């Protein structure tokens, strides 16, 4: 899952806790809830690096649905345990947003690795093949291009 890039990626860490409502009958965090933790990471990343949060994209006239997702589970977690979602932006020239994730437990052990790919759709839900202006400007601001 490790990818090499020419430019250092922007990274942000988000802390979460496993809530009782997020575990199965065995007291283990249900696998589907990890998607929510990844989303928490993306939302916090968007706030930290302003300009590519969901509402930023929407206000710019676009949508950015996830079209590719891969998760590799490494360890289980239980109610009350703290986790850290590390969200890393992976630069690409294509008109898409690529994030890699690592979720750690409080001991620093890797619980999960994942990635998501988002593409841009215009207001008519048509795929956008060129980077939207707001996204190009965001990349320039963070010295990605």
Q: Residue 3: is its pLDDT beyond 50?
A: no
| Residue 145, pLDDT score | 84
| Residue 12, pLDDT score | 97
- In sequence order, what DSSP letters do the residues of 18-83 get, joined into one string? --GGGB-TTSBBPGGGHHHHHHHHHHHHHHHT-S-SHHHHHHTT-B--EEEEEEEE----BTT-EE
Position with higher pLDDT, 71 vs 5: 71
Tell me the per-residue pLDDT of 44-96, one tens digit each, with 9 for 90 and over.
Answer: 999 999 999 999 999 999 999 999 999 999 999 999 999 999 999 999 999 99
How far apart, in whole angstroms, are the C-alpha atoms of residue 32 and residue 135? 30
Tell me the per-residue pLDDT of 19-39, one tens digit each, with 9 for 90 and over.
Answer: 999 999 999 999 999 999 999
Phi (first) and psi of residue 31, to 5 degrees: -55, -35
| Residue 5, pLDDT score | 42
* Confidence band of 4 (pLDDT split at 50, 70, 90): very low
Task: Assign domain 11-141 to a CATH class.
Answer: alpha beta
**Average pLDDT score over the chain:** 94
Burial class (CB in 10 A: 0-12, 13-18, 19+), 4: exposed
pTM: 0.92
pLDDT-above-70 percentage for the chain: 94
Ranges of each domain in the chain: 11-141
Position with higher pLDDT, 108 vs 145: 108
């Amino acid at each position: 899952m490790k990818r090499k890039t020419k430019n250092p990626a922007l990274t942000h860490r988000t802390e979460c806790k496993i809530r009782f409502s997020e575990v199965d009958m065995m007291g283990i965090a249900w696998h589907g809830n990890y998607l929510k933790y990844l989303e928490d990471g993306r939302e916090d990343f968007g706030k930290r690096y302003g300009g590519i949060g969901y509402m930023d994209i929407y206000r710019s006239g676009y949508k950015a649905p996830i079209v590719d997702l891969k998760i590799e589970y490494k360890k289980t977690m239980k109610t009350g345990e703290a986790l850290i979602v590390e969200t890393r932006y992976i630069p690409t020239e294509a008109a898409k947003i690529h994030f890699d994730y690592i979720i750690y437990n409080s001991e620093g052990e890797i619980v999960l690795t994942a990635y998501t790919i988002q593409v841009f759709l215009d207001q008519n839900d048509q795929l956008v093949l060129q980077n939207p202006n707001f996204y190009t400007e965001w990349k320039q601001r963070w010295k990605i291009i």
